[in-house]
Amino acid sequence: MIDIAEDLKQQTEGLGAVETLAYLADMFEGKIIFSTSFGWEDQVVTHMIFDNNLPIKVFTLETGRLFPETYYVWNRTMEIFGQPIHAYYPRQDLLEQMVTKKGPNSFYESVENRKECCNIRKVEPLKRALSGNDIWITGIRAEQSPVRGSMENIEWDDQNKLIKFHPIYHWSIEEVKDYIKLYNIPYNTLHDRGFPSIGCAPCTRAVQPGEDFRAGRWWWEDKSKKECGLHDTSAATLETVRG
């Protein structure tokens, strides 16, 4: 599959985002999936998929700690397109065990606790969502963080053993906003209040002037630890998830 990822990069060279999505959907019929967290970028990709009736399953991770504004965009998106958005929840037993032992806000206490919470609420459900698929579509852009800037628009994800495609990887934030305005796509209003990256409510704050894109995520931690494990390019981080 690693070789296939390289082949796909060559086969889709020069194609636009929608053309590449359609090409991959045809080649990997029934085994292609898109993850959305309802941010600017994901709303653009969702529009590309739903507006063009592409046979790509769209899903989200329902962590149980999302902003009210995120739930509004989720519901509004389904109303507009009339398409399902599949929800994957944390495993109840793992979540109950963690909260019972450490409380609902243990992630503030240490990086290890925060990663445990991310693993239970996001990484483990993601693995269930990706299971059986060959292509994972994301809304990642290169300029979002140094880690994401080192990725490729089509790449092999060794952690999850599939190919990832980032259709708007080389887009600027201005291009994303222009697309949303052009097609009147619903978006999370927290973006207008200084939230360029939106995750769980307790772990996300507005970015201050002069701060980088990811500064509002897990702001109490060192800036080098601004990933939760969903798009980790290193070894898998599931050691705290049992069973």
Strand ranges in 104-161 using DSSP code E only, listed in sequence order: 135-137, 154-157
Would you say 223 and 205 are in contact if contact means Cβ atoms under 8 Å apart? Answer: no
Is 117 marked active-site? no
Contact (Cβ atoms closer than 8 angstroms) between residue 117 and residue 123: no
How far apart, in whole angstroms, are the C-alpha atoms of residue 175 and residue 134?
Answer: 29
- Listed residue (30, 19, 37, 2) closest to 167, CA to CA: 19
From the candidates 118, 200, 203, 228, which is the catalytic residue? Answer: 228
What are the φ/ψ torsions at residue 78 (nearest 5 degrees)? -65, -40
Catalytic positions: 228
